[in-house]
Structure 1
Amino acid sequence: MSKKTKIEIQLEIFESISELPTNIQELMKRAQQTRDTAYAPYSNFSVGAAILLESGEITVGSNQENAAYPSGLCAERVAVFHCGAVYPNQTIKALAITASSIHHQLNQPIGPCGACRQSLSEYEQRQNSPIAIYFMGETGNIVKVASVKDLLPLGFDAKYL
């Protein structure tokens, strides 16, 4: 006999950047600035990410496309891999993500793709503490989740290997 289980997540929604905690306002502004450095000539979809480390340091990433499509990399992974390489012993406290499109204004929150969720999950597991994620479009509401697990509740990890 089968059993159904319900998985629920809790989102916190902010109507503007000014409602965010001061340090997260700065983080989102850095993500917005970094979005402008995206190399997105194929999708015309630019993403900026900014990571807040426990030391207060902020590191950033933007999406980088390539004519050989699978060779590009999303902003979130550019930022988190940079943290892993340059700040390997620092705990990631928060991640801010923002996106824009050349085709229309994005006024709804844009969360990370599945590959980015999996990569972020690895870092969250590795540091054994949650990473708060804040995401938005170009304008509009900002969504906060308290942990990558909220976006990837049944994620794959090393215990399966």
Structure 2
Amino acid sequence: MKENQKITFTQTLSVIPLTELDAIRSELIAGAKKASGKAYAPYSNFRVGAAVILEDGQIFTANNQENICFPVGVCAERILLGYTHANQPDLRPAILAIVAQKSDNSGFATVSPCGLCRQSISEYEMKFKHPIEILMYRPDGTVLQANGIDALLPFKFEDLNQ
């Protein structure tokens, strides 16, 4: 039997101490932390906050909103990107920060965008033809930095009309 061809892909994320972030990235992490505290998560108690800076410097925040019917809930990242695009459709999201609080209220947890959010981020990268830097806060005082969604979603859906 012939051996199947294998595809290997490798992505690199940077690990940056929070103390070494520039002022804008620090502000985004702080905004996402604050937003996570306002999340509506009565069922999972897993509160996620997100912050984005648009190319013109405007910063927006959002958080996850749960529903007793679980699939109806919406993630912080999708609320945030949808809101900013609805109100500023011509401004590119430049940097997205994500923070999650643990369900037992004992601190923060490392979190990355779920699959739906990853595909949503990809959609805005395709629209604006530019990667969105993604910052994921970690409770050890560091931030994971991805220079675009390709690092987190290697087999994304792309324009199916081409």
Say which of 12, 15, 20 aligns to 1:13: 15
Using the TM superposition, give the Cα deviation of residue 126 of structure 1 relative to its aligned residue in structure 2, in angstroms. Answer: 0.8
Structure 1 unaligned residues grouped into runs of 5+: none
Pair 1:138–1:64, CA change in 2 (3 A): farther
* Superposed CA offset, 1:98-120 (max 9, x none): 00123264555210111100111
Name the counterpart of 1:22. 23
Name the counterpart of 1:54. 55
Report which of the two structures shows the higher radius of gyration computed on alpha carbons: 2
Name the counterpart of 2:72. 71
**TM-score (norm: length of structure 1):** 0.92
Distance in 2 between residues matched to 1:55 and 1:26, nearest whole Å: 15
Pair 1:19–1:108, CA change in 2 (3 A): farther
Distance in 2 between residues matched to 1:107 and 1:54, nearest whole Å: 28
**How many residues are treated as equivalent by the alignment?**
160
User: In percent, how many aligned pairs have the same letter?
Assistant: 36
Cα RMSD between the aligned structures? 1.7
How does 1:80-95 map onto structure 2 within 5 Å? Answer: 80-95=81-96
Using the TM superposition, give the Cα deviation of residue 68 of structure 1 relative to its aligned residue in structure 2, in angstroms. Answer: 1.4
Pair 1:27–1:81, CA change in 2 (3 A): same
Pair 1:36–1:108, CA change in 2 (3 A): closer
Q: Which moved more, 1:134-143 or 1:74-83?
A: 134-143
Name the counterpart of 1:100. 101
